[in-house]
Amino acid sequence: MMSPFIFRKVRQMRSRSFGRTGRSVGEIGFGAWAIGAAWGEVDDGESVAALHAALDAGVDFIDTADVYGDGHSERLIARVLKERGGVRPFVATKAGRRLPQQKVDGYSTENLSAWIERSLRNLETDALDLVQLHCPPTDAYYHPEIFERMERLVEQGKIRHYGVSVERVEEALKAIEYPGVVSVQLIFNMFRMRPSELFFRQAQERNVAIVARVPLASGLLSGKFARNTTFASDDHRQFNRHGEAFDVGETFSGVPYEVGLAAVEKIRPLVHGDATMAQLALRWILMFDAVTVVIPGARNPQQALGNIAAAALPPLSAEIMDAVARIYAEDIKPHVHLRW
C-alpha cells in the first residue's frame, strides 16, 4: 500500500512538453501492452483497476497499439475512459504490425486507412491523438510517400498527430528528418543507453517528443527475477528469447537473460531508502531531459502506483549515475550497443 505522503507527491507529477503538439503530459505514463497480450495470463478486472488507479494518480498519457491482444488493449482503454467521463488523457496507439510480413508496400494508403478506422472504433473516438508507425522495416524510413500518407490522414481529421516507434537509433535519426513526425518511441533504459549519445540531442533540436518504452527491460530491472524464474508459454519473455516472434531487442532489451541477472545484482546496492529497484530504474530515465514520458506497464493497481511513485524520488546523485554507466559499459554494452 502506498503511503499517503507518496500518493500526494505523485499527484503533483511533473509534466513535460510533448514536442510540437502544444500538449504537455506527465513524465510517467501507462504502457498498455501488458494488459493486451504476450505477458502471460491477463485479468481484465485487474487491468481495468490498474488503468483507473493510474488515471486517479494523475497519469494523462496512455500508450497502446492495435495489435496488443488484437485490439483488446485499445478496447479496455475505451471502456475505462467511458466509465470515467470528463477530459480524456492523451492516448497514443500504433499501426503497422497487422501486416503478415513487414514490407514497405504494406504501408499503403488502403492499409493505413483501414488500421486507423479500426483503432477509431476500438478506442471509440472521432480522432486519434497520436498514431505511431509500429516498428516498420528500416527501408520504410527512406520512403517519403509513407509519411505523406500520414499527412493526408491528419488533413482528413482521422489523426491529430503522428510519430514512429522504432527498433534502432538509425531509424529514429532518419524519422525525425520528416517535419510531420512529432514523436519517436524507442527502448531506453539502464540496459539500452545508446539513444542518449546522439539521438537525444538531435530530437531536442527539432523539438521531437521521446517516449521511452521497455523501461524495466521486460522486468529484469525490477530485481524480482532469478535463474529459476519461469514464464508462461504465452509470455514473450519465454517465446521470444531469441527473436522467434519479433525483434529480440523487445525482450529483456536484447540482453541475454543470465547476463542481465548478473548486472542487476551490481545495481541492487544502489537502491536506497524505501525505493524499489524498479523505481530507481524509472527515475534514472527521468534524469534525461530529452525524454518526454516513460511508459512502464502495469497489470494491477499496485504495479501502476509503484511505477508512478518513481516520479516522487529525488534526482539521482552523480555517483549513482556514474555507477550505472560503469555497469553498462562493462557488462551490457558488448551485447546491445552496436546492434540497436
Active-site residue list: 68
Strand-pair category, 293-294 with 15-17: unpaired
Contact 252, 236 (CB under 8 A): no
Which grid cell is 155? 488533413
Distance of alpha carbon 109 from its chain centroid, rounded?
26
Separation in Å, CA 339 to CA 4, 193, 284: 44, 12, 22
Residues in Cβ contact with 327 at an 8 Å cutoff, skipping those fewer than 6 apart:
190, 263, 266, 267
Which 8-state DSSP code applies to residue 39? B
Alpha-carbon distance of 122 to 277, in angstroms, equals 35
Q: 258, exposed or middle or buried, with CB in 10 Å at 0-12, 13-18, 19+?
A: exposed
Alpha-carbon distance of 131 to 114, in angstroms, equals 13
